[in-house]
Amino acid sequence: MLKYLPSLSALRAFEAAARHLSFTKAASELGVTQSAISRQMRAMEDLLGLRLFERTGHGLVLTEAGEVYAHKIRTKLQDIETATLELLAYRGQGGELTIACLPTFGARWLVPRLTKFTAAHPEVLIHIVTKIEQFEFMGEDIDAAFHFGEGAWPGALTDPLMPEYIVPLAHPDLLRRRDEIGLEQLLLEQPLLQATSRPSLWSHWFNVTGHHHPNPHVGPRFEHFHMVIRAAASKMGVALLPRFLVEEEIASGDLVALDSHLTRSNGDYYFVYPQSKRANPNLQVFRTWIMREAISAKKEINKLNKHQD
């Protein structure tokens, strides 16, 4: 039994009194008497050994300790209420999944496909959060993640999702210049737009394609691929991007590919989740669905590669 754990009714009374700054209004909201609220607050202060409220000429005010405590208690009570509402909404038959993914991958590849999943599985509520760096699932309220790189993820099960193919892209105005001087010379005279999360991408592309650049790491840096895409469309330089992330810009003519061939990137996409969650039925439903989506995506890339060959 925890020594310093007020009852739930006392915590609700404290949160209401702190929000209204009135024992009377808190009592009215909770359907009890003003004296009951007052007794509960005195009992809490005695338990904690701290003053939570002060009476002034202008009425009731929170102490500094009371202000901090009220904020934390309010957040926890809201979490309990949310969990309860979700349980009632799904009658204990569904649930929710929190999925972490890279920002641009999530916005441009995952989210547009989620409508199909939610239509087929309305009992599962999906929450998407963005993460750039690899993290430990322990201590994180995350059920699974999309990862780019190598397949190793400590303490997690890893499913290969799909490869990544990259291509240099730029504003259409640079296409004529490329035809005049060639791709390699164009890349020497134009800024190479860099993604902070993928610092070795340009270097990898030059090594694989056989083109030369004295310093492929130099150029304006952006945190996310989305920023790199917008920078390239705004004529800031040449971007090296995963082909599947720029479908809209290519279709609209905002960006054009400067190379006729797609190059295999220096990593692949994976779906990862903790071993402790392998029996979670909602996670397995989502996993089965996302693997089918990845198969479809790989088929589209293969068609594109054959067309360019």
User: Any idea where the domains of the chain sit in the sequence?
Assistant: 8-90, 95-162+268-308, 163-266
User: Mean pLDDT across the stretch 66-71?
Assistant: 93
* pLDDT number for residue 151: 80
Q: Is 104 exposed, middle or buried (0-12, 13-18, 19+ CB in 10 A)?
A: buried
Report the Cα 2 to chain-centroid distance in Å.
35
Strand-strand pairing, 124-130 and 95-101: parallel
pLDDT class of 135 with cuts at 50, 70, 90: confident
Fold of 163-266: D-Maltodextrin-Binding Protein; domain 2 (3.40.190)
Rounded distance, CA 24 to CA 202, Å?
Answer: 66
Q: Quick one: how far is CA 289 from the chain centroid?
A: 19
Do domains 8-90 and 95-162+268-308 share one topology? The answer is: no
pTM of the model: 0.69
Confidence (pLDDT) at 308? 59
Whether the per-residue pLDDT at 121 is higher than 70: the answer is yes
Contact 14, 36 (CB under 8 A): no
Question: Is the per-residue pLDDT at 307 higher than 70?
Answer: no
What CA–CA distance (Å, rounded) separates 147 from 121? 24
Q: Which fold has domain 95-162+268-308?
A: D-Maltodextrin-Binding Protein; domain 2 (3.40.190)
Mean of pLDDT values over 195-212: 95
Average pLDDT, the chain: 90
Q: What is the CATH number of domain 8-90?
A: 1.10.10.10
